[in-house]
Structure 1
Amino acid sequence: MLAAIGLDERQEAAYRALVALGAADVADLAHRLEVPEADTERALRRLESQGLAARSSSRAGRWVAAPPAVALGALLTQQRHELEQAELAAAALAQQYRAEAAEPAVHDLVEAVTGASAVAHRFRQLQLGAAREVCALVTGRPVAVTGPENDAEERAAGRGVAYRVVVEREVLEQPEGITELTAALGRGEQVRVVDRVPTKLLVADGTLAMVALVGGRGAEPAALVAHASGLLEALRGLFDAVWREAVPLRLGAGGRVAQGPAAGPDATDLEILSLLLAGLTDASVAKQLDLGLRTVQRRVKGLMETAGVTTRLQLGWHAYERGWVSRT
């Protein structure tokens, strides 16, 4: 938690231990932290340079913690000042860039990114730099960036960036697919499902787009980053077209489950219905929701009876008509 002021995990642990103990010598602190004494002493010297710890004046060899309110407050003030200076520098550079790029050359409108690490870094960078909205088309077989590795999405959504995501049906079949999508819905993201998306795509604030390039077998991952241009407009239009045709996904507490009448479907019914409309079979739905196959089939039959229909096709139509699911 104190990494923002320049402390690593060991230094933070040492400071927290000193605060809890009041004072300690290197040997005691090393034993408490379960690290070598040499590493503990280096951590204490780093804390001393930051004004967070000092050698005891009453007992040789012992260290004491500086009061957190004073010591951390000073460091935070310094960090805020440095951040403000960095923001001013960034604004000045952005203004200079806009002035010099008022009429950008054609080759400046598209950026080629090659290599798995470079693609993953640029993918994270676009999300972390977004201020308003991120739109994404997600394939079932990511090459350079996988769901668990993409912490940028959680961080961006956590600071208020809106997400609209369309995933391939194959994502729902993956071991962690439902878990990750439930977490995304829980962060307030809008998620829809289609049979297949045309390409891996990410659009940040409508001003930058990153589209995957598909090479031959064995070729390293590559992508194009499009700046303001006709290509960017085309990619935004592609996302909007896929979004309009996709089916909204709603999963338990993470989704915005529509409320029906008292005799209508419950939350589990709506999860089942959402996955069925996304194209999953009864068996796949049962597996993803950890339900028995007969339970799923019984609930589907109950939904059909509630809707007064005799086929699943009719059930899907009535689900939209009654507001159990929607495209909003």
Structure 2
Amino acid sequence: MLESLGLDPMEERVYRFLVATAEADITDLIGNLGIDAQTVETILISMRVRGLIRTIGPGRRRFAAVAPDIVLGSQLLRHQQAIDWARREVDQLSEEYRDSVRRRDAGRLVEVLPNRAALQERLDHLQETARHEVLHFCRDHETVLPSEENHAEFAALRRGVEYRVIYEKPLLAEEGMPADIAYGVKLGEQARVMSWLPVRLTIVDHETAVLPLVQVDGISEQTAALIRGGQLLEALIALFECYWERATLLRIAEDGALTERTTRCPLGPDDLYLVSLLVGGASDTSIATQLGVSQRTVQRRVSNILDVTGARTRTQLAWRAATEHWL
């Protein structure tokens, strides 16, 4: 059992005997372990050199085991460090291998899933093996699993996988959907909503995406593309992040209902007009002229607006004004 730490079976027998008896001499070892004298001598010399045992008593002809947590614990730590290093090397080599395969055979970047069964099977597998994060566009009129059947997502959430999901707004009006979404949010899903989404999309660990292909309702079988890496995947990730920034947060109210975050604009009409000029690209000089004030006054008012809204920069202010519909 201790071979991984450098002890062969005979050495392990001697070490375990010394641990159990506290100390022993060569005669004890020969009599109790059934090993000949020459073999015992050889084993003891080897174990002393490696610090596994020490000599004690008059004439130093008795032997005792060094504490396992000292001598074997340090070896175990070194082994663990070596394993961690090897794992990192394997991960790096695996990534290099995948990149090499992709460059050599671009056809492996995209796999067509020919029917609904294959699509659902692959989506379940991807969620079951997800390690970090799943991104998802959930469109209206698509098949959405009710909470009691959505085992793959909820199991992944429980083991620490992050989910970021954007729902199309009409879904919130469907019977049972708000309760299903609220259940996922309670488990840790980050949910947002938009009035419209361009496509159904699932991205797992920024490594694999599933994108449905052309389907004519009631005529053709649903097909999808499985995309592994490459610039197409990077474009889909960028598409998701763009919509995520613009989407409205869904939260659970005190009564347990699912609601959209609503942010009351903290600015008055005069400040909103100034913000509209900033968003339109007007310079401070131009704004000062239109408002009939000095440029320094414009800068002071902008600074005050940043403080009131919590924005750190003018760009962030413009983004908040757009996403929270202040203008």
User: With structure 2 as the length reference, what TM-score do the two structures score?
Assistant: 0.49
The normalised TM-score by structure 1 is 0.49
**Could you say which structure has the larger radius of gyration?**
2
